[in-house]
Structure formats: C-alpha cells, structure tokens
Structure 1
C-alpha cells in the first residue's frame, strides 16, 4: 500500500500518535505562544489531516487540492478530523494523508497548509518553512520566527582561522555569517557555505573547516553551518540578500579554471516571508506561525483556483 493511502476503515498507513492531538493543540495556539505552536507542529508530524479536493478523487490523475491565499501567500486548506470535515460542509472529495507526507509535498512548492479554515476565528496557517521543518525534522532546524542580523560577538581568532584556512578548501567559493536568534532555544552564529560543488565530500570538507575554527571561538559561542545552495533555508536566503562575504575566493585568487558559474540566488529576503498575525503583507522575519487574531473572521474566498496536487499522486 502506498504511503498515505486510505484504508477501508479510514486509517492511513504510516500515521501514528494520538488522533485528537492536533485539535487539542490547535485550541492552545495564539500569537506569541511559540511553545504551543511547536506542540501543534509535533502533533501534525505524528498525525494526519483531511485534504480538501477541489477536483477529482484520491489518487486519481486529475486530483487537485483547493487553495486559499492569505497575506499574499498560498495555502492548501484541510480539516483535522471526520467531525471537522462534516462541520465544514465540504461537499467535494477529500484525501486522508499523513502530516509528514503533506508537509514534504507542499513546502517544495512554497505552499503552506491551513488547518480548519471554517472554524470561528479562521483556523491556523502553517507556513511552508515550518512544513519544511516537519519534513526534515523539527529538532534539526531552528524554531521561528527567527531574528537574523549581523553578528556583534567578538571572535577575531575564530574568523582569522576561517580566513587563513578557507583557501585550502578547493570547493569553497565564499563564506558569510549571520547571528540567528530562534523563537525557542539559544542564539548561535551561523556560517554560510557557498560551494562550487555540493557533493557530500565537498560539504564535509567545508564543515570540517568551520569545526576546526570553532575550537578558537569564544567560550559558550554556538557555531553552526548552513548551505547557501539550499533554496528553502530562510537563513541562507537572508545571507544571500544581506551579508557580505568574510571570505571570497574569486576576489582573492580569481575564478578557478573550470569552476561552474554561480547558481541562481534564491528570491531576495524578505520576498518569501509569512503574514504578520492580524495584518497583511510579508513578515519582517521568518519562518514562524501565522494565526488570525482572536475573533477574526475566517479567510474569505476559499477555495480559489485549484492547486495542482503534489508530485507522485
């Protein structure tokens, strides 16, 4: 049976956890309650949702999800239980799918997931960058909204080692830096790795450089790395748009013979972004939750033009 396929009893292969966890978590989510939002993301990662089909039937070649737009960003609407499906009045088809599978499908096209848009207050939207966190692993990526800026920490010895040894790492085109303060957890220094070659050996060589230099970082300073080639990473997107290189091979040595042309850069920050709670337009930093303000009306006009579904179905 394929992942996400509905059984005769309505269960979904691969789904696990408490079937009521998503709805309980939804009731606790509110602006600035980041712990409650993280609980919702965990419940979604372990649970399942009922995707609303604007056209077609589950698994059919012409199946299309509905969509809605909030603050200029697209979301695919869903409901969180058979009871919510009935309450929504949805008269077309639906598809039951695990949270992990829909998260992995949607974030790659920069679509978010909107939970229970029919309920009073309008439900809760999960932006695509948080769906990416679910798909990759919530513990592997920082919790948003992120505050990103130029590092103020004094780490001259660390940077000196980086600059002196970076020239020896042949796949390395440039290095950038950013101070990352997650919504939950400790802030850290992130070093952006811009590589000619993103093969595993090249990535490992660049990360090993940062690890060697980190020995000389101030005590207590957490240092991480981010691949600049990751078009879905909000930290990399910020670095492309805002940070000057602290090491630039081509400025020092010229372009290596046979080196590939630089890959197209992601859309400039903050052209991606998410709606600010209670407002329209992109957020000033991202990723993070979007919930409508208490008492706000449900989003109008859903569904709009159908979304084309996700790859493989």
Structure 2
C-alpha cells in the first residue's frame, strides 16, 4: 500500500476508535473517511472465490435479521481477525455502491473487542450518492405541526396545474446532525426531463410563501432507497391527490408502487441505527 493509502487507512481506524453510541459526529467523520476517494480502503472478506474472479462472493453476517458484509480496515486487522480465506481490497465508495442496492450494510472489524462497527445500507447509500446530499441519520420523522397554510395552498394550486404530479405528501424531518426541515414528497406520473422541469418550476413558484428560516426539501416517492420517501409512502396521507379531486392524470404509471418500508432495528453490537422505536 502506498504512503497515501496507509495514511487513509490510518484515518479510517482513527475515526473508528472514536465512534461510540450517541457520537453521531464521530460516526459522520468515519463515513467521510471511508468515502474519501483518495483512500478509505477496506479489506472485504471473501467467503468464496478469489479477488477479481467471476465467482468471488463476499462473506455475510446477519444481525437482528439484517444483512452485512464483514470487512477489516487494514492488513494488521486482517492478521488479527484470523481470516484464512481470500480477501479483496477496494475503496469504501466501491463497497458502498456494491452493497446498498441489495440492502446490505458493511460491518467493520467484527473480530474487534465490542464487535466492531456496523454501517447500515442507508448510510452506504449516503456515501454512494454524496454525504452532503442526504440528511444524517438516524432520522426522526413525523407529521409537520408548523402552520403554513399559504404555502400549502399555493403549492396545491400549482400542483393542480402540473399534469406530471399525481399527489403530494409532507413530513417533518429531524436529522441526527443539522437543522430540521420540511420534506415535500412528490408522487409523479412521469419522470421525463420536461416533467422534471415542470415539477421544479412548480416548487420555485410556491417556495416564496415559505417563512424565512424554514428549510424545505423535496423527495421523489418512487425512490426505493430513500428513508424519507419510505416513511412518506407508509405513514403520510397526501395533502394533494389529483385522482381524489377527479382531475385527469397524465398518461402512464408512476414508477415504483408505494410499499411499506422495512423498519431497521439496531444491531445487537456495534453502531448502526435507528434506535428502538425511532426512525427509518
């Protein structure tokens, strides 16, 4: 491993040592170190095959019914683990992109005292798509209680004039780090570029009615991997529904039928989220 790679591995392990329950800042720093394209390498443990071979298969472990692929963070940890099969050294980003679509998380150093640290697939998705583009979990989601009737009325009016929109839902999102915000869930008939532009224009025409200091974000309800979209599909009733109003819909079927999200219980050991009875 190069000097820069060794330094990156050291950064990952330094951040890993600082992660304890409730230390979301340290956990975010660990994710950032893993997502660093200049380093952040992990040693994926192969249950079958050799690195680079078509039949290579990552190991897997189940924690409270959730799947994780085990890995170690350095050659020293590989030796300490006693793993006697093959392994593959890849970047943390590559691991995240490979695992999260199948709802698999990544478990770092499961041999370590305390059981290591588990990274749920939701956070691997954040790594793969950009940590600064997704809120830091665990997320607490609820129905909004803030009174902004003018914004909702204006947004409903513009949505009715935007044929691509089938329904709108809303949620109050409180990230583990950062300020809470209002999320507007977009249920659309069409995801073509003209439709996307029309929906973006709808939001721009309505956002002026939002009080100063209130952050508003949008989420596509057909996104099967977004925790806010999952909560909205399962728990939030539309505050605008074109079909309930009897308005004609745009042709086609909205991609991604609404489905109930899986509630992620906390791992028995390590980190992971959400805490009992909390969030997605």
* TM-score above 0.5, yes or no: yes
TM-score normalised to structure 2 length: 0.92
Structure 2 SS opposite 1:53: strand
Match in the other structure for 2:25: 35
Equivalent of 2:66 in 73, 76, 82: 73
The separation in 1 between residues aligned to 2:279 and 2:48, in whole angstroms, is 32
Match in the other structure for 2:52: 59
The separation in 2 between residues aligned to 1:281 and 1:97, in whole angstroms, is 24
CA change 1:119–1:51 in 2 (3 A) is same
Structure-to-structure mapping, 1:1-313, within 5 angstroms: 10=1, 18-46=8-36, 47-256=40-249, 258-260=251-253, 263-266=256-259, 268-269=260-261, 271-275=262-266, 283-286=276-279
CA change 1:120–1:193 in 2 (3 A) is same
Structure 1 SS opposite 2:237: coil
* Deviation at residue 254 of structure 1 after TM alignment: 4.5
User: Given that residues 170 and 236 in structure 2 are in contact (C-alpha distance below 8 angstroms), is that contact kept between their aligned partners in structure 1?
Assistant: yes
Unpaired stretches in structure 1, ≥5 consecutive residues: 1-9, 288-313
* Deviation at residue 265 of structure 1 after TM alignment: 1.9
Offset from partner CA, 1:13-52 (integer Å, 9 cap, x none): x979622011101100011100000000001101110000
Number of matched pairs: 274
The separation in 1 between residues aligned to 2:112 and 2:269, in whole angstroms, is 17
TM-score normalised to structure 1 length: 0.82
The separation in 2 between residues aligned to 1:200 and 1:116, in whole angstroms, is 44
Offset from partner CA, 1:208-263 (integer Å, 9 cap, x none): 21222111112211111000010000000000011111111111124536332663
CA change 1:281–1:146 in 2 (3 A) is closer
